[in-house]
């Protein structure tokens, strides 16, 4: 049996918990497993954090049973999870209520209140981001106004990855990347903004309820006695600080300045890395901290691959058939325009939006309908990518595609067709879990993140070129008309 030192990366996402075990020296993937989480349906999107811990244990156990490795060789664990989510614990560190997840938009009224009170410019310059219902601060205000009895029980306010790090190490800590997603972290000063939290609840000792912010590469500590017993691990296993999912994905992909990443999943993220703070006064780009001492300008959209899943059901076609129909669409045919805002939207902030399909004529074909589903997802992505590139002004290196949607040839090819440029896919299945492994390796103190990225360098597995040269200015203009219509938006709850 191989006696190489091993690190564990845990990615606790909205849909599932993924566990990876890798060799410290080479990054070689030794074992992996996944355990599902209960489905959520915005605008109310909640999960009990206890489920995350049970899924973590189950996935880890399955990985160990199905692959040949010795748990005694594990020296470190890194955790990544969905950003923004609100986890509240009482004086006994018990869960007060289910966690409100990043895609829960019930706090849209609270978001509007905070934006109107301070102004967009304040939020962008203070936190690096234009806050919206996804941000933790809006969920805290929602809790104060709607469940005050639960709010008054609060003794700890933490994020999803903080909860799992606490379960592993018995310490309440977070990292600067996660902190920068809350709406109450000063991205310029690098500390909690206690003054803005007083607008949620005055005379509340916020300093005591917030976790300690750790610096990049810093460890949370060693595994707790209980966690070591439950997972069957040695008591000297190091627990990393933890981080947000997209920050871990950036680590896992090893991106540099000039690389732009499109992560295709249930939601879609477009991001890059920057050495300096990037502020977008229009509020479309959020600039958060990354997990390696830099910054991560990012645009997050709610409606990703679930859109094509929906069309697959509506059209009674399997996903593979839907993909083939879309790929076989003739660009010379009349186009359909689908604004795929099926669950509202975060960027731009349209929590009550619904989808709009336009351009149907007697010549519309089933291929056109299938292509509209993919275009509805990817057209806003291309617009966001070009906007981000213009804002960062970094010389272009690579446009990288990752996430579950990157397994679909249709998504990759149509993305290249719409971008009118080459798309790069790297040899990584789960970039966030791999990033958690990298953070775990750096937390041992034996090697830096930059050294790990060189040792664990990724190969290119696919280069996707556009199938044809096309001028798409008119198409994007017509799409804007469709996506700008607000005639049948859901009514805002008062």
Distance separating alpha carbons of residues 236 and 241, to the nearest angstrom? 16
Q: Which of 104, 245, 280, 375 is catalytic?
A: 245
Residue with tokens 């609060």: 154
Give the 3-state secondary structure percentages of the chain, helix then strand then coil, rounded to 5.
35, 20, 40
What residues form DSSP beta bridges with 190?
none
E-state strands within 331-433 = 337-339, 356-358, 398-402, 423-426
Q: How far is CA 469 from the centre of its chain?
A: 32
Q: What value, to the nearest 5°, has the Cα angle with vertex 29 and ends 23 and 30?
A: 75
- Helix (H), strand (E) counts: the chain: 18, 24
Q: For residues 256 and 275, is the Cβ–Cβ distance under 8 A?
A: no
Estimate the crossing angle of helix 245-253 against helix 431-443, to 10 degrees: 80
Q: Give the number of C-alpha atoms closer than 13 A to the C-alpha of residue 52, restricted to the C-beta side.
A: 30
Q: Annotated catalytic, 427? A: no
Task: Determine contact, residues 132/104, Cβ cutoff 8 Å.
Answer: no
CB 426 within 8 A of CB 338: no
Residues catalogued as catalytic? 245
């Amino acid at each position: 049996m191989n006696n190489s030192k091993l690190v564990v990366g845990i990615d606790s996402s909205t849909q599932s918990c993924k566990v990876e075990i890798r060799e410290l020296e080479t990054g070689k993937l030794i074992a992996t497993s996944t355990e599902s989480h209960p489905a959520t349906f915005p605008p109310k999107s909640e999960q009990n954090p206890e489920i995350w811990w049970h899924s973590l244990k189950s996935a880890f156990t399955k990985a160990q049973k199905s692959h040949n490795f010795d748990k005694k060789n594990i020296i470190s664990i890194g955790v990544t999870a969905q950003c923004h989510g609100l986890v509240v614990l009482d004086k006994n560190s018990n869960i007060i209520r289910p966690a409100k997840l990043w895609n829960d938009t019930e706090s849209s009224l609270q978001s509007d209140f905070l934006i109107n009170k301070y102004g967009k410019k304040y939020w962008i310059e203070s936190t690096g981001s234009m806050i919206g219902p996804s941000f933790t601060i809006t969920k805290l205000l929602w809790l104060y106004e709607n469940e005050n009895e639960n709010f008054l029980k609060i003794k700890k306010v933490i994020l999803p990855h903080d909860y799992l790090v606490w379960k592993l190490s018995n310490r309440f800590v977070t990292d600067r990347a996660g902190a920068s997603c809350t709406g109450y972290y000063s991205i310029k000063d690098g500390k909690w903004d206690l003054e803005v939290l007083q607008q949620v609840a005055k005379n509340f000792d916020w300093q005591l309820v917030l976790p300690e912010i750790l610096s990049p590469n810093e460890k949370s500590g060693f595994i707790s006695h209980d966690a070591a017993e439950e997972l069957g691990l040695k008591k000297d296993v190091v627990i990393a600080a933890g981080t947000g999912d997209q920050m871990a994905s950036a680590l896992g992909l090893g991106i540099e300045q000039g690389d732009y990443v499109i992560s295709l999943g249930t939601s879609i993220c477009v991001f890059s890395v920057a050495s300096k703070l990037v502020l977008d006064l229009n509020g479309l780009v959020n600039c958060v901290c990354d997990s390696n001492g830099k910054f991560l300008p990012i645009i997050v959209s709610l409606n990703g691959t679930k859109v094509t899943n929906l069309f697959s059901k509506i059209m009674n076609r399997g996903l593979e058939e839907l993909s083939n129909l879309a790929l076989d669409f003739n660009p010379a045919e009349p186009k359909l325009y689908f604004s795929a805002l099926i669950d509202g939207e975060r960027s731009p902030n349209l929590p009550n939006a619904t989808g709009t399909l336009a351009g149907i004529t007697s010549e519309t074909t089933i291929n056109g309908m299938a292509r509209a589903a993919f275009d509805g997802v990817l057209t806003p992505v291309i617009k966001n990518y070009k906007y981000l590139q213009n804002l960062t002004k970094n010389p272009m290196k690579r446009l990288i595609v990752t996430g579950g949607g990157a397994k679909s040839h249709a998504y990759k090819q149509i993305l290249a067709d719409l971008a009118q440029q080459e798309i790069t896919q790297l040899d990584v299945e789960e970039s966030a879990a791999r990033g958690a492994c990298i953070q775990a390796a750096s937390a041992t103190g034996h090697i830096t993140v930059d050294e790990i990225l060189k040792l664990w360098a990724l190969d290119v597995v696919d280069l996707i070129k556009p199938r044809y040269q096309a001028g798409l200015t008119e198409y994007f203009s017509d799409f804007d008309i469709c996506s700008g219509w607000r005639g049948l938006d859901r009514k805002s709850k008062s």
